[in-house]
């Protein structure tokens, strides 16, 4: 089968012929990939930012936002059948550790993260397990939802945690209306009654934010939304970290979703204002299942551009240079 493989950090991946994965365990699920989202994390992987954290051996197949159709299942799988359209939770979890039993499977002690620490889904086939597959509602196609498996899930997870802080009359600020942020805006509008203010230097991104229903859109930090109850930073670098913290009010919360930069703040400033800094990493299986409900209801949709698997480096160029609005989807 064809697969997008990283052979050396600092060098773009290549599309190689590799052996097909096979079902060997009772809970294995083999998925024919219908679409794989391209994430900025994939750029960071190629750069080598994840090398130490993941410990993955090279070469390996990237791709952690995946959806498709069930090709084959292990003998104990009962929640999906061959032919079912599915989206894959990015983690393949054990179900037995403490976090899994509490429903906090994003912190599973025995998880695998296809596309990060083992072979991922930018390929014809991907092997995962029964705990990772969410059956799609009729009418939802893999290519329409694949990027929700990580980008959408991460945005939803952050908003879901912040819902208790966003009562009617509150204000939240969204930094970045691109591939992550445009999903977060939709989640906020669907799940809260807060006033949603979006900041993005790109006119194309601001236009999209207005189209999605943001209450206020601007190209610069500051202004009428200083003192937000919650700030969602979907950029996490290039100065958004300092601006995001500055935009929170006393006892406000700064939610970090994008990454690449650093948060530097004197501890006295945190305690004297009781501001909160909250990290967000993907989300639980339940989060993904709930997000698929919003997608089926048409309340969360993706703005995407599709590329054949062979054009992965063209897609990476478009993402890296800012030519891409929304999400890139690779279709095997």
Task: Give the 3-state secondary structure of 83-135.
Answer: CCEEEECCCECCCCCHHHHCCCHHHCCCCECECCCECCCCECEEEEEHHHEEE
Q: Where in the sequence numbering do the catalytic residues fall?
A: 41, 44
Rounded Cα distance between 11 and 46, Å, is 7
The DSSP code for 146 is G
Residues 6+ apart with CB under 8 A from 218: 197, 198, 199, 206, 225
Each residue of 70-93: b (16+ CB within 10 Å) or e? bbbbeeebeebeeebbbbbbbbbb
Strand order in the sheet with 248-256: 216-218, 195-199, 171-175, 228-233, 248-256, 276-279
Strand order in the sheet with 2-6: 14-17, 2-6, 60-61
The number of residues making up the chain comes to 332
Cα 30 off chain centre by: 22
DSSP letters spanning 180-238:
THHHHHHHHHHH--SEEEEE-S-HHHHHHHHHHT-SEEESSSSGGGTTEEEEEESS-ST
Cα 161 off chain centre by: 15
């Amino acid at each position: 089968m064809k697969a997008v493989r990283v052979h050396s950090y600092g060098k773009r991946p290549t599309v190689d012929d590799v052996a097909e994965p096979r079902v060997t365990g009772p809970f294995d699920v083999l998925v024919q990939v219908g679409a794989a989202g391209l994430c900025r994390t994939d750029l960071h992987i190629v750069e080598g930012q994840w090398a130490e954290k993941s410990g993955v051996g090279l070469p390996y197949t990237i791709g952690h936002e995946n959806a498709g159709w069930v090709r084959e299942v292990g003998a104990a799988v009962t929640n999906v059948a061959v032919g079912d359209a599915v989206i894959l939770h990015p983690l393949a979890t054990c179900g037995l550790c403490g976090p899994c039993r509490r429903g906090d499977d994003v912190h599973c002690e025995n998880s695998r993260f296809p596309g990060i620490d083992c072979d991922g889904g930018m390929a014809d086939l991907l092997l995962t397990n029964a705990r990772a597959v969410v059956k799609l509602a009729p009418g939802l196609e893999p290519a329409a939802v694949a990027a929700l498996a990580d980008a959408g899930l991460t945005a939803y997870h952050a908003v879901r945690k912040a819902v208790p802080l966003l009562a009617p009359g509150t204000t939240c600020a969204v930094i970045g209306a691109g591939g992550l942020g445009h999903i977060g805006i939709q989640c906020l509008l669907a799940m809260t009654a807060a006033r949603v203010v979006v900041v993005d230097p790109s006119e194309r991104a601001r236009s999209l934010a207005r189209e999605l229903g943001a209450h206020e859109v601007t190209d610069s930090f500051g202004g009428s939304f200083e003192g937000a109850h919650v700030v969602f930073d979907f950029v996490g670098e290039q100065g958004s970290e300092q601006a995001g913290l500055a935009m929170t009010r006393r006892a406000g919360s700064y939610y970090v979703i994008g990454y690449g930069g650093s948060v530097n703040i004197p501890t006295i400033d945190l305690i004297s204002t009781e501001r909160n800094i909250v990290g967000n990493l993907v989300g639980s299986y339940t989060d993904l299942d709930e997000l698929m409900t919003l997608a089926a209801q048409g309340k969360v949709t993706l703005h995407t551009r599709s590329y054949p698997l062979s054009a992965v480096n063209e897609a990476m160029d478009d993402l890296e240079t800012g030519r891409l609005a929304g999400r890139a989807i690779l279709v095997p």
